[in-house]
Amino acid sequence: MDIKIPIISTAQLYLRPWVPEDVGELFTILQEKNILHYFPDQSPPSWEKVERYIEHHLPPWVQFGYGHWAVVSRDSG
């Protein structure tokens, strides 16, 4: 089954599907101090765990027709 995941655009942001190239940026964000303050496990994830997280987000789109997006700033990418 081929599914088209929508991309939502605003003046400042766009929401798009996660792609493997997002691993480095998400990994960096998740290493920031206190970024996971309100999560049960506050330990920053490994690179491999971030890869699995991103890979995990295509199947719900295929199965249910919805899922998580990556949120990207139009100014900084």
Dump pLDDT digits (tens) for 15-42.
Answer: 998 888 999 999 999 999 999 999 999 9
Sorted by where each begins, the domain ranges of the chain are 32-69
The pTM of this model reads 0.81
More confident residue, 62 or 43: 43
* Closest of 28, 77, 35, 67 to residue 50, by C-alpha: 28
pLDDT band for position 2 (50/70/90)?
low
- Evaluate if residue 1 carries a pLDDT over 60: no
